[in-house]
Structure 1
Amino acid sequence: MIKRVHWTVEPDREPDAKRTMYAQECDVCGEGSPRGADEDEATQWIFRHVRNNPSHNSYTEIVKRGWRAWMRQS
Structure 2
Amino acid sequence: MGCLRCEAPDRTRGAERPQRGAQRGDEAGPMSTGPRAIVRHETWTLTPDREPDAAPLSYKMRCTMCEEESPKSEGWNDPQSWALAHSGKNPSHRTYSEVISRPWRTFMHA
Please tell me the TM-score bracket, short chain as reference: 0.7 to 0.9
Provide Cα deviations, 1:2-29, integer angstroms capped at 9, x if missing partner. Answer: 4331100111000000011111111111
Please name the residue that 1:26 is paired with.
Answer: 63
> Aligned equivalents of 2:48 and 2:79: distance in 1?
21
Q: How many residues align?
A: 73
> Aligned equivalents of 1:59 and 1:26: distance in 2?
4
> Aligned equivalents of 1:39 and 1:46: distance in 2?
11
Provide Cα deviations, 1:30-54, integer angstroms capped at 9, x if missing partner. Answer: 2211111012321221111111111
Question: Moved runs in structure 1, 4+ residues, more than 4 A?
Answer: none
Structure 1 runs not aligned, ≥5 long? none
CA radius of gyration, larger in: 2
Please name the residue that 1:59 is paired with.
Answer: 96
Instruction: Kindly indicate whether residue 48 of structure 2 is the aligned counterpart of residue 7 of structure 1.
Output: no
- Using the size of structure 1 for normalisation, the TM-score is 0.86
- Using the size of structure 2 for normalisation, the TM-score is 0.60
1:16 aligned counterpart, secondary structure: coil
Identical residues among aligned pairs (%): 37
Structure 2 runs not aligned, ≥5 long? 1-37
